Structure 1
Amino acid sequence: MKALKLFLLAVPLSLAACNASMPEILQTSADVASASGYGNQAQLVRGIKDALELSSGRAATSLSQTGGYSNNPLYRIELPQSVQPIASTLRQFGLGGQLDKVETLMNQGAEKAAVEAKDVFISAVRNMTVTDALGIIRGHDTAATDYFRQQTESTLRQRYLPIIQQNLRQIGFYNQYQQLLGTYKQLPIANKPDLDLEQHVLNQSLTALFKEVATQEQLIRKDPVERGSAIIGAVFSK
């Protein structure tokens, strides 16, 4: 316990030293970690990468299952909030069945796209540096997920949108959506909100994905050996 505390404090304490360079700071952390039984820098980075690969992989697997989005009250994708106030009116115009079908297809599209997320996640993990890994170890219980989102969200959006579009097309979403949109535009309702459901599905899909990655990271941090591996346990156990 005492040795690990020394390791966790090594870098911030080193920053207080006027003559300390970044390589010296990193080496100090590695030396303390090694003396504490936590291995060298390579092992530290490997432990962090393993944890991130596990948490992201489990999140993608969970959400890609049938009902991964639709059956989860936390992640279910519904019509945009801007549309909700007039949803009852749309149902009065006989669009209830179409609304339900569109919501079902939005969730199915997100579930199918989640399958493709694993490769994107793994590629991002491989670019992690020693400095990144040390920062994550000292960070809060979703530090890895926060780093991951910061580094990958822009790329994920670019790569995820075609996946969303392709899968929505395959399950017949656009035919159903165009029918709804055509009827919706003809309704005598003033100031109708925009129904850009494609971007809505993209945003909600990624938000849920990162939330689930964070959940999995927290579980690994709480029980790193049981939910991870020996090397992950060596890095995160306290």
Structure 2
Amino acid sequence: MFRKLLLFSLPFLFFGCTSQQINQTLNTVLSGGLSSDDIGSGLKEALRNGVQRGASELSAEGGYFDDLAYRILLPDEVRQVTDKLQGIPGFSNLEDVIIKKINQGAEDAASKAGPIFVDAIRQMTIQDAMSILKGDDNAATSFLQRATYKSLFNEFEPVINTSLDKYDANKVWLDAATAYNNFPLTRQEVNTNLGDYVTERALEGLFKKVALEEINIRQNIGARTSDLLRRVFALQDPGAK
């Protein structure tokens, strides 16, 4: 009732104001006293928290490998290669070795991913934040993925490849793929570039972590660790829509 009365009275209060002043006042009133800047800051804080927590968890030893939901496995065509190489000396345990090494590489690279994501979050506009607030539970993560995936991939891939080299994963796979491609009866050569595949899976895991953090902060009041987060996300709670 108060809200309807306030809306009825606003035209008289706005006499002599510019359209920009009117819009700013309306946004503040209808958002429970929060300005657009407040809402944008709250969403960015939530995303930063999710990104940093997700990157930290995945960059820990075993962050990818020990969690079956995030462990990076070999694609089917690569497994066909490792299966056929089982009987060759030096390649008997190839699949296990490669899986362990590529996950170690992803864990190493994840420690450097946080700042890349945070920089992308800074570029989110107020308009983006306002449209995301009452979107789906993973709306902010989906926006971030659409807006930054290509640039993140381009920046993340060298880190992944450096990490794969650090753990000899690239060399192990290059030797295996080359040996397979040199088989007389090989019908189709396999890609010797392991970096692209691992980068895609590593980023997929990071975005999955961020999405889980976003869902948590939207649905779990206890996860809103600052006054700003509590006030901003209260706007999308049931009954506020």
CA contact (8 A) 1:26 1:131 kept: no
TM-score for the superposition, normalised by structure 1: 0.82
What is the alpha-carbon distance in structure 2 between the residues aligned to residue 202 and residue 76 of structure 1?
Answer: 13
- Counterpart residue number, 2:159: 163
Give me the whole-angstrom Cα distance separating, in 2, the residues matched to 1:224 and 1:198.
40
Q: Which amino acid aligns with 1:80?
A: P
The residue identity in structure 1 corresponding to 2:210 is: V
How many Å apart are 1:200 and its aligned residue? Answer: 0.8
Aligned residues: 217
1:234 to 224, 231, 234: 231
**Match of residue 29 from structure 1:** 27
Structure 1 portions without partners, runs of 5+: 4-20
**Counterparts of residues 1-238 of structure 1 (less than 5 Å):** 28-33=26-31, 36-37=32-33, 39-85=34-80, 87-93=82-88, 95-192=91-188, 194-195=190-191, 196-237=193-234, 238=237
Give yes or no for contact 1:54–1:228 (8 Å, CA) kept in 2.
no
> Hey, what's the Cα distance between the residues in 2 that align with 1:22 and 1:84?
61
- Max radius of gyration: which structure? 2
Matches of 2:166 and 2:211 in 1, distance apart?
30
Q: 1:107-146 deviations in whole A, cap 9, x for unaligned?
A: 1111111111110111111111111110111101000101
CA RMSD of aligned residues (A): 2.4
Consecutive unaligned residues of structure 2, counting only runs of 5 or more, are 4-18
Shift of 1:170: 1.7
- Change over 3 Å in CA distance of 1:41–1:111 after alignment to 2: same
The one-letter amino acid paired with 1:69 is Y
Question: Hey, what's the Cα distance between the residues in 2 that align with 1:160 and 1:23?
Answer: 43
Give, in angstroms, the shift of residue 57 of structure 1: 1.1
Give the AA of the match of 2:26: T
Change in Cα spacing, 1:86 to 1:25, as seen in structure 2 (3 Å) is farther
TM-score by structure 2 length? 0.81
Contact 2:181 2:189 in 1 (8 A): no
